[in-house]
Amino acid sequence: MEKLDLENFPTSLSANRMLNYVSDGFYDNSYVGKWMYQAIGLEYDRVRNIFENLPEQFFPETATWGLKYHEIKWGLPVRLNLSYEERRRLIYQKRDYRVPMTPYHMEKYLEDVTGFKVHIADVADPGEYGFVAPHPNVFKVYFIGEETLDSKLVFEILNRLKQSHTTYTVNDRIEINFDNKILERMVLRNIRIKMSVVFWNIRCFNGSWKFDGSALLDTCRNMETKMQIKVQVNTGNEKIGNGEVITRRNLWHFNGSVKMDGLRLFNAMKREEKL
């Protein structure tokens, strides 16, 4: 059994505060006496913690153990099995539903419920993403974040909140910031970035997979989402420290667009070289 360090005991803040009122040398080496103050002090520490955290329990945005009282207030079941954040979102959804739904209130409501940053673009406020309203009654909702958006929940909320004569589209947006600190080492005239999302993956005879029985010749029309980022640099006379050359030759798909008439060779090539 590990020997108790009486010099650094008790550990309770309240116990040490109470011991300051006792004459020096009285309990300095008393195992039993210090444990009595430790037991009493832990209870005081618990009460003090509740008292100090009490103001935070008045609001669901900061409440922890007090969330159950907000759930009871808004007629929700007490869900102790959920995380604090999930319980808060359910409270927000019930609490803020009946406020006047201006675009601003709709943004705040959706942010509280989904955890995403939200912007609503309409004819009065097109926002920074280039939205052009095709009709005054059409608006667009942008969700900015890297998590998975619950689209079913979003559509249910928007259908409840929006005015009956309006319609909308939804954009789930991911913003990527590039750190350009190292660009100070080089001078570039033009940097072009292209991003595309491919939803349908079709196998092609381009050397990317082997005839080893692992894949069927079935065109592989599986639903798949990929993101491709292409960076194109026009340098002129500038110098670049690192570069890459990709060589492609005679790549074509077995999709019916090319005839098997002997004019094409099976000599496809895709080569990547680091400079």
Q: What pLDDT was estimated at residue 222?
A: 47
Give the total number of structural domains in the chain. 3
Query: Domain check: are 147 and 193 in the same one?
Result: no
Residue 236 three-state SS: coil
> In a structure prediction context, what are the per-residue pLDDT tens digits for the chain, which is 275 residues long?
456 666 677 888 888 888 888 877 777 778 788 888 888 888 888 888 888 888 888 888 889 888 989 998 888 889 889 899 889 988 887 777 666 678 888 888 888 888 899 999 998 888 888 888 888 889 999 998 888 888 888 898 888 888 888 889 898 887 766 666 665 555 555 555 555 554 445 566 666 666 676 666 665 554 444 444 455 555 445 555 556 677 777 777 776 777 777 777 777 777 777 75
Q: Where does a domain end: 126, 141, 173?
A: 173
Residue 89 forms part of a structural domain: no
Residue 65 lies in a domain: no
Question: In 3D, which of 125, 91, 90 has the Cα closest to residue 107?
Answer: 125
pLDDT tens digits, residue range 223-232? 444 444 455 5
Where in 27-135 does DSSP place strands (E)?
117-121
d(CA 232, CA 190): 8
The burial class, CB within 10 Å (0-12 / 13-18 / 19+), for 8 is exposed
85 belongs to a structural domain: no
Q: Is 158 a domain residue?
A: yes
Dihedral sign (CA 122, 125, 131, 133)? positive
How many angstroms separate the CA atoms of 132 and 114, rounded? Answer: 25
Specify the pLDDT at position 225.
44
Provide the total of helices (H) and of strands (E) in the chain, helices listed first. 6, 7
Exposure of 24 by Cβ count < 10 A (0-12 exposed, 13-18 middle, 19+ buried)? exposed
On whether residue 83 sits in a domain, the answer given is no
109 close to 157: Cβ distance less than 8 angstroms: yes
117 shares its domain with 196: no
pLDDT of 162 reads 85
pLDDT given at position 108: 87
Q: For position 243, what pLDDT does the model report?
A: 63
Pairwise CA distance, residues 262 & 104, whole Å: 64
Cis peptide before 134 (omega within 30 of 0): no
Structure tokens at 119: 């912007």
Residue 62 lies in a domain: no
Question: Same structural domain for residues 168 and 185?
Answer: no
Same domain, yes or no: 185 and 270: yes
Residue 72 forms part of a structural domain: no
Among 177, 219, 226, 164, CA closest to 198: 226
> Interhelix angle for 103-114 vs 151-161, to 10°?
150
Quote the CA–CA distance of 116 and 133 in Å, as a whole number. 23
pTM check: above 0.75: no
Identify whether residues 187 and 261 lie together within a single domain.
yes
Specify the pLDDT at position 141.
Answer: 92
Compute the distance between CA of residue 44 and CA of residue 49 in angstroms, rounded to an integer.
9
Distances (CA, A) of 265 to 205, 206, 252, 260, 272: 12, 12, 10, 10, 21
The predicted pLDDT at position 190 comes to 55
Domain that holds residue 12: 6-55
Model pLDDT, residue 99? 61
Asked if 251 and 208 sit in the same domain, the reply is yes
Structure token pair of residue 109: 């409501």
166 & 186 share domain = no
From 173, 191, 212, give the residue that closes a domain.
173
